[in-house]
Structures are given as C-alpha cells and as structure tokens.
C-alpha cells in the first residue's frame, strides 16, 4: 500500500517538475503534459501551475473542460482543496486556491474583474 502511495506522489512530483521546467525552458526540451493528464491528477494546484505555463490562447473545448473541473472541485467555502498536500478542509487550501486562481486569471479563463 505504501509503495502504491509513494508511486502516486512520485508521479505528481515528476509532473510538477515537468511543468515548472517547461515554464522555464519552453517547449524545446520538455513536452507540456496534455490537459487530460493534468486533470487526471484531480489537483487544482497542479492544474494552476500547468495553466501558468500556457503561452497560446486556449481553445473553447479546453476552456470548457477546465471550467467544468473548477466547478466540480470547488469547496463549499469557495476555495479549492489541495489533495497533493492531503488538505481536506471545508474552505480549501489557501496555497492551492491561490495558484489555481492565478493560473485561471493569467491564462484568461477567468476575468479578474469578475472574481469575487
């Protein structure tokens, strides 16, 4: 059981490292994970960082997938849970929420003026 958990953590860390390296070095050396791979993690923290690496406009179908994910994973208090950190509060983890919202705003999925 522990090996399985370690494997999951390793996969998430590897994806996160890939996302950050891609953000620093661009697409020349590291391929950006496809959104389905990122959404499979069910962690807004990872998705937030992935959104920060986007350099092009997002297609309407991709935007819809991300909006659906955001609605599905939002906590009652308006924040997002950080599964990566084992956070399960009612209001969501501030770190997860902050990065997720920053990613949504910078990739223009969410308009800062509409945020409340």
Whether 42 is in a domain gets the answer yes
User: What phi, psi does 55 have (nearest 5°)?
Assistant: -115, -15
Whether 10 is in a domain gets the answer no
* Domain extent for 73: 33-114
Whether 50 is in a domain gets the answer yes
pTM: 0.78
Whether 69 is in a domain gets the answer yes
Whether 15 is in a domain gets the answer no
Number of domains within the chain: 1
66-103: per-residue pLDDT in tens?
Answer: 999 999 888 888 888 877 667 777 888 888 899 999 99
Dihedral sign for Cα 19, 113, 82, 75, please: negative
């Amino acid at each position: 059981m522990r090996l399985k958990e370690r494997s999951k953590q390793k996969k998430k860390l590897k994806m996160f490292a890939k996302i950050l390296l891609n953000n620093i070095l661009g697409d020349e050396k590291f391929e950006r994970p496809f959104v389905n791979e990122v959404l499979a993690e069910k962690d807004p923290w990872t998705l937030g960082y992935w959104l920060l690496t986007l350099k092009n406009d997002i297609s309407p179908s991709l935007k819809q997938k991300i909006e659906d994910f955001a609605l599905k994973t939002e906590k009652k208090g308006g924040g997002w849970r950080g599964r990566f950190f084992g956070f399960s509060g009612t209001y969501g983890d501030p770190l997860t929420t902050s990065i997720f919202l920053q990613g949504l705003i910078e990739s223009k999925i969410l308009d800062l003026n509409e945020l409340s």
